Structure 1
Amino acid sequence: MSGKCRIWKYTATDRDLDAPSNLEKLLEAWKELYEVYKSNSADRRRWITFGCGGGVDDSKNNPGLDRTDDIKKGTYQVLKYGVSYKEKCVKRILYTALITNFYPLRTLARYFDDINDVLWTKEKYEIKNQPLPPGVRVFYRNGVFNLYDAVIGLTGAWFNEDKLRRIFGFNFLKEKLLQ
């Protein structure tokens, strides 16, 4: 290799996307491909979105969080990050989120609807020596954590933390894109 610096390979793409009309075309193309995926029809354009043009799929070829393996791995990583870092952050300013290109369209009801509000804690955060009804346990609020503070995709999102909604919500992104 000579002493020359490598040039960013996407310079032309960056330049093209700086033009608002080109960015608009890109967003329109993205929307069109998303609608093709959403319809679940055997449309050749599906190959562009995730490499599977057929109607039968085992989810191994699905994009984003419609891929069940990614949901499982991501959920473990969110929990591990929470235990390893979020819980240890004294200021409680670290958050956990699954971030993806495609929001879970096909898997949302099956895999997320019943766990999107799961909380976790540890016994050390329990408030003891207090009279409580049988079967009731009380924990310090700063010792109870969301499993997911957010799931964020380019095609949708849900938030369990308002701060993340303000930062990553689509209204904020729309404002930034249109500046």
Structure 2
Amino acid sequence: MNRDSDNRAACLNCSHSCSVKSEIEGFYSKAKAALDSRSHLRNFVGELFECLGQMVQNGDIQDAESLGIALGASFDLCISLLYTERVANLDWLYCQNAPPMSFYPYLKGCPRCGSLDSQATIKAHKPSSDTIGRYTTACLAAILCEMCRVSRNGFEVRVLDASRGDVDLLIFDAQTLILCEVKASPLHLLPVCVRHSKPLEREDGNEKVPVESHQGVSIADLENIPLYLYLVEERSFPLRWVSDGEKPYLMLESGRGTEGTCEILRAVSNAWAKMYAGYTSRWKEHTQLRWFTCGCGGSVDDSKNAPGLDRTDDIKKGVYQMLKIAEKYRRGCKEKRVRVALLSNMHPVVHYEEYLKGFEDALWTHEDSIQQRMGKMVSVDSDDLFPFYDMLFTLTRSWFREERLEQAFSLQTLYHALGGSR
């Protein structure tokens, strides 16, 4: 797919006057190409995909499943970089353990120590839900766009403003228009940190003594001090301020181009894989990493912030949104070119069996679509039968109701496109 292409979405060039055509044209005209916004994110995701290709070809990623884990880690790394846009001077958390560091935390725990028994007052700097929605949609769109380019599946991606309501993303080619709802949330956020040359001190009578516990602190002059992105197990990656006509933002400073980025991605993927395994096992494995993950519970982060599509409210709202979009737009398209998809960064590991498995092969229709009744048998045109969603797409595992969508967006397809042979 050409990065600069601007093909018309399927069903906009048709000769029919569908009742929904004007609304779909409205979506299309107001949507932005995923490549046109946040150019630094787009370029960084492009680098990450170069790294993924290298990791596939040198055996670090050996199958589609492990590629999904690396993609999940890539998403969280991208989200963490977007979160740095909001870093301010107040309400950092000082950790007295060697080497002394201060963090700009997103959870109510120490990014290095985890849950704290005697907690300092910790301010969690998570953005509002609207902002998180914009960030997650931007990251998924950038990753999907790169998937389409690498896989050469012919699809393009466009992003709708969050205030548009029913639809978050458009994915389309000349045959099919996919209307997408995004429900996404990170598993692990890498906070910004600063390193201190020596322990912070406090007054004790007439003497100065090292601070011996976690404390809330302020960090001045952020633009002129070294900042890092912190990964569990004492890994940190330098950040640099970039000014390119937009508001200054922070990016990773690998120092060695793509090679350095690949080294960072390997480290993040390895740590993320352990957290993912812990989460999948309900923390029977890698228990010590629980308190560094979103939605871990306790006093650190509310369980309602579960990663990916594992928040039950998001599952319920997402499935309803699929029904609503399908009933209006999929059913309303006379050429049957519209599809609907629920998108996330991580599949509902905990809640899939209970909340979604029953919909895997389910179909629905309207009563007025029944053509005839013969006792307990009814006749319905296959074009009037609709799945609850045509695609439940996540970076770690997906479900498809159409072979064409599976060929375009499956992890197996991407794995082979990146050079995988298994």
Q: Which bin holds the TM-score, normalised by the shorter protein? A: 0.7 to 0.9
Deviations 1:62-86 (A, max 9, x none): 2122210000000111011101211
Separation in 1 of the partners of 2:248 and 2:375? 64
Q: Is the 8 A contact 2:340 2:389 kept in 1?
A: yes
SS in 1 for 2:293: helix
Separation in 1 of the partners of 2:400 and 2:345? 16
The residue aligned with 1:171 is 412
The residue aligned with 2:305 is 61
Shift of 1:145: 0.6
Separation in 2 of the partners of 1:100 and 1:17? 29
* Pick aligned residue for 2:252 from 12, 15, 23: 12
More helix by share: 1
Matched, 1:39 2:39: no
Shift of 1:19: 4.5
Count of equivalent residues: 171
The residue aligned with 1:70 is 314
Q: Provide closer, same or farther for how the CA distance between residues 17 and 145 of structure 1 changes in structure 2, counting only shifts above 3 A.
A: farther
Q: Is the 8 A contact 1:59 1:66 kept in 2?
A: no
Q: Provide closer, same or farther for how the CA distance between residues 10 and 120 of structure 1 changes in structure 2, counting only shifts above 3 A.
A: farther
TM-score by length of 2: 0.36
Larger RCO (CA under 8 A, 6+ residues apart): 2
Letter in 1 for 2:385: V
Matched, 1:133 2:377: no
Deviations 1:74-125 (A, max 9, x none): 0111011101211112222222222112211111111112222221112332
CA RMSD in angstroms, aligned pairs only: 3.0
Q: Is the 8 A contact 1:117 1:148 kept in 2?
A: no
SS in 2 for 1:66: coil
Q: Provide closer, same or farther for how the CA distance between residues 175 and 19 of structure 1 changes in structure 2, counting only shifts above 3 A.
A: farther
Shift of 1:164: 1.6
Separation in 2 of the partners of 1:33 and 1:17? 25
Letter in 2 for 1:141: S
TM-score by length of 1: 0.78
Matched, 1:93 2:333: no
Q: Is the 8 A contact 2:295 2:304 kept in 1?
A: no
Separation in 2 of the partners of 1:48 and 1:119? 40
* Pick aligned residue for 1:151 from 387, 392, 399: 392
Shift of 1:21: 4.4
Structure 2 unaligned runs (5+)? 1-243
More strand by share: 2
Separation in 1 of the partners of 2:415 and 2:265? 12
SS in 2 for 1:137: strand
Q: Provide closer, same or farther for how the CA distance between residues 126 and 30 of structure 1 changes in structure 2, counting only shifts above 3 A.
A: same
Q: Is the 8 A contact 1:59 1:68 kept in 2?
A: no
Q: Is the 8 A contact 1:17 1:23 kept in 2?
A: no
Q: Provide closer, same or farther for how the CA distance between residues 8 and 137 of structure 1 changes in structure 2, counting only shifts above 3 A.
A: farther
Letter in 2 for 1:120: W
Separation in 2 of the partners of 1:49 and 1:177? 29
Separation in 2 of the partners of 1:124 and 1:76? 21
Q: Provide closer, same or farther for how the CA distance between residues 33 and 118 of structure 1 changes in structure 2, counting only shifts above 3 A.
A: same
Separation in 2 of the partners of 1:177 and 1:83? 37
Deviations 1:17-65 (A, max 9, x none): 99444444443333222112112227342344314165xx985132122
Q: Provide closer, same or farther for how the CA distance between residues 167 and 10 of structure 1 changes in structure 2, counting only shifts above 3 A.
A: farther
The residue aligned with 2:355 is 111
Whichever of the two has the greater Rg, that structure is 2
Structure 1 unaligned runs (5+)? none
Deviates more, 1:28-37 or 1:4-13: 4-13
